[in-house]
Structure 1
Amino acid sequence: MTIAVPSALTTSRRQVEPALRAAVGELDEHTRLVCEYHFGWVHADGSPDGRTGKALRPALVLLAAAAAVDDAPAPFREAAAVELVHNFSLLHDDLMDDDTSRRHRPTAWTVFGRPAALLAGDALLALGTSVLVDPPAPHAADAVRMLGSATGRLIVGQAADLDFERRHDVGLGECLRMVEGKTAALLGCACGLGALAAGADPAVVSRLRTFGEELGMAFQLVDDLLGLWGDPATTGKPVLSDVRARKKTAPVVHALTSGTAAGERLHRLYQDPEQLVGDRAELAADLVRQAGSKEWAENECERRLTAALAQLPTGGRTGPAVDALTELAEFIVRRQW
């Protein structure tokens, strides 16, 4: 079943792209080309292209601001800052994971080389802070601290993810803590920054930040499931790439620690030095299913969604922004990309 994409995603992408383009436009010519290619704005030769990302994090920034305070000005630069940091992480992730496809075309490092993609990611990270402080705003220092903290947690989570590839004793608890850093921290930051920019009370900022973090956990679990059983034509990424790299995603770790026969067989398969490709990769995914870990991940997604929605502003506050956040959260858990 095809699920309609919430209008908030399309709207936020259109609203925030000018700020993103202006920030990237400040870079030197070569780094700018790498970034513009990565964002999907141009082909490798610099000619225009029409591909774009999901703009999930900018949508969360804008909706959180509107949900927190009535008639709050739209925080476009905060939305741009989060999206710049997110794309820094994507450029580096593709490098570290040797991923060759993103958004249905070759990744930036395969086109421009590893050093150029690495430096482009660094440049986007620096721009993320720059757009928050120029021009300065009353909340700018708090915003920089919030974004910096989330970025630090993201890096710690990514480091743990890489470390897990070399270990055979990863527990489910530490795997979920890795996800909290790698994915959930920045989604929480997006919601917190939106509320902060709107001038919301600290309690509201905290609730919306928690909403984003719980939603981020669900988002990553869906990503993990799509990495095992998604359609590459829809996701834009090769299926089973995590298995081939022996990634310890949450469903895989759940299976490995399940105490089931399928989990034990998966454990032996992951320890075997022979490459996990072709039928062996498909077997690994099937063992995850046999261990009950696909069902567990789906249930955990629903639990995280419920926990997220429980954080939305209460005290009688309703309205289009709260409804849109709810719609977006439910879409994330049931999406196919």
Structure 2
Amino acid sequence: MTSPTTATPAPAVPPAPAVPPAPAVSVPDVPDVLGRCRALVRPALADAVAQLHPWTGEMAAYAFGWCDVGGAPASGASEGKGVRQALAVLGAEAAGADGGAAVGGAVAVELVHAFSLLHDDIMDGDGTRRQRETVWKAYGIGPAVLAGDALFALAVQTLAGTPGPRTAAAVRRLCATLAELVRGQAEDLLLEDRPWTGPGAVRPDEYRSVAERKTGSLLGCAAALGGLLGGAPEETVTALDRAGRHLGVAFQAVDDLLGVRGDPAVTGKPVHGDLRRRKKTRPVLAALAGDGPAARELAALLDSSFRLDDAAAARAAVLVEEAGGNAATVEEARSHLDAARACLRGVPLARSAARDIDALIAFLLHRAV
């Protein structure tokens, strides 16, 4: 654990209905969309982090990939995809406003997301994120909890200071989302003690509810805050929120899938980490829903008392694939992405923003397949 240092300033839902898929959007467009939105939000995000105590500010900058331990500028660290801040900007643009109207909301959701990752890594015992040590591994558990708390408070403070007639409504929406996110994390932790099979096993609808609260609520909030701050009517704000929630469930499904078969160079996490921890994820639960030999062997492996080493975790990954867990997860993601598109087609949106949002949807599906 490092001691406090003076920080270097930071650089300037229910089951998805079946709907016809929209025309495919070129995935290579997505880096441009994310980059444009990041360029708009990043200066304000850095300014917000600079308001923190130097020590918590350094940990926040480390979490964002801006610096190394000690505050020196990071060399090649990942800043993440930036999907949430992009949804906020695009939500405002979808309402016909300039994306700058949503910057306060975009900063707030990025801060909340960072807070949730800091605390989530501690609860899950994850020592690696984005190919380097997590904050709690680099600084210690106590400091990481404190940094998460600081980011939580800063998110509300930042949004409350955003000028405009809809600020109060935006703060209320963010606070409701924070409560929902915490509830989802509580439910996720409780799933760990549930049996893999039998009457007490986790049902698909229960897991979907957790995914919507843990991941979908913040993506829905991001898009809705953009629309709200951009002056969208309530019907459009609601549609953006619902679309974001479906995106979140799909996003979680894809992340779960990458935890089973993902490349650590892409995911930034150790291969088969979720399987080693016997974490209840969508592919595993879908695989166990079958009654074939692969599902039975997987259940016996997960129910065993011995530690899952590399070989056992690799075998579990093979069994998940053979039992149909990966295919079912891809289908789940497809279904919710199509549902997100359906939500957005139900309200009038600015054409360019609608195209960019659809590109993000295609990007998420591309990650899954």
- TM-score calculated relative to the size of structure 2: 0.87
Equivalent position to 2:136, from 87, 98, 109: 109
Instruction: Show CA shifts across 1:287-315 (max 9, x none).
Output: 11111111111111111111111111556
2:21 maps to what in 1?
Answer: none
Equivalent position to 1:164, from 186, 191, 195: 191
1:292 maps to what in 2?
Answer: 324
2:72 maps to what in 1?
Answer: 47
How many residues in Structure 1 have an aligned counterpart in Structure 2? 336
1:217 maps to what in 2?
Answer: 249
160-169 vs 53-62, which deviates more? 160-169
1:141 maps to what in 2?
Answer: 168
Seen in structure 2, the aligned counterparts of structure 1 residues 143 and 135 have a Cα distance that, compared at 3 Å, is closer
Inter-partner Cα distance in structure 2 for 1:257 and 1:334: 26
Whether contact under 8 Å (1:232, 1:238) holds in the other structure is yes
Equivalent position to 1:263, from 295, 299, 312: 295
- AA matched with 2:187: A
Inter-partner Cα distance in structure 2 for 1:128 and 1:318: 28
Structure 1 stretches lacking a partner, 5+ long? none
- AA matched with 2:309: V
- AA matched with 1:162: L
Structure 2 stretches lacking a partner, 5+ long? 1-25, 196-200
- AA matched with 1:77: G
Seen in structure 2, the aligned counterparts of structure 1 residues 35 and 268 have a Cα distance that, compared at 3 Å, is same
Seen in structure 2, the aligned counterparts of structure 1 residues 260 and 157 have a Cα distance that, compared at 3 Å, is farther
Equivalent position to 1:173, from 164, 184, 205: 205
Whether contact under 8 Å (2:166, 2:228) holds in the other structure is yes
The reply to whether residue 131 of structure 1 matches residue 158 of structure 2 is yes
Percent of aligned pairs with the same amino acid? 44
Equivalent position to 1:191, from 200, 209, 223: 223
2:20 maps to what in 1?
Answer: none
Q: Residue 297 of structure 1 aligns to a residue in which SS? A: helix
- What CA RMSD, in Å, does the superposition of the two structures yield over aligned residues? 1.8
1:203 maps to what in 2?
Answer: 235
Q: Residue 101 of structure 2 aligns to a residue in which SS? A: coil
- AA matched with 2:39: R
Please report how far the alpha carbon of residue 178 of structure 1 lies from its aligned counterpart in structure 2 after TM superposition: 0.7
Whether contact under 8 Å (1:65, 1:197) holds in the other structure is yes
The reply to whether residue 320 of structure 1 matches residue 352 of structure 2 is yes
Seen in structure 2, the aligned counterparts of structure 1 residues 135 and 210 have a Cα distance that, compared at 3 Å, is closer
2:268 maps to what in 1?
Answer: 236
Inter-partner Cα distance in structure 1 for 2:240 and 2:278: 34
Inter-partner Cα distance in structure 1 for 2:335 and 2:99: 31
282-291 vs 68-77, which deviates more? 68-77
114-123 vs 48-57, which deviates more? 48-57
Whether contact under 8 Å (2:93, 2:350) holds in the other structure is no
Inter-partner Cα distance in structure 1 for 2:59 and 2:237: 35
Equivalent position to 1:9, from 25, 28, 34: 34
- AA matched with 1:178: V
Please report how far the alpha carbon of residue 261 of structure 1 lies from its aligned counterpart in structure 2 after TM superposition: 2.5
- AA matched with 1:93: D
Seen in structure 2, the aligned counterparts of structure 1 residues 138 and 245 have a Cα distance that, compared at 3 Å, is same
Inter-partner Cα distance in structure 2 for 1:96 and 1:304: 28
2:343 maps to what in 1?
Answer: 311
Instruction: Show CA shifts across 1:254-291 (max 9, x none).
Output: 11222332222222211111111211111111111111
Inter-partner Cα distance in structure 1 for 2:289 and 2:368: 27
Seen in structure 2, the aligned counterparts of structure 1 residues 202 and 15 have a Cα distance that, compared at 3 Å, is same
Equivalent position to 2:145, from 118, 138, 152: 118
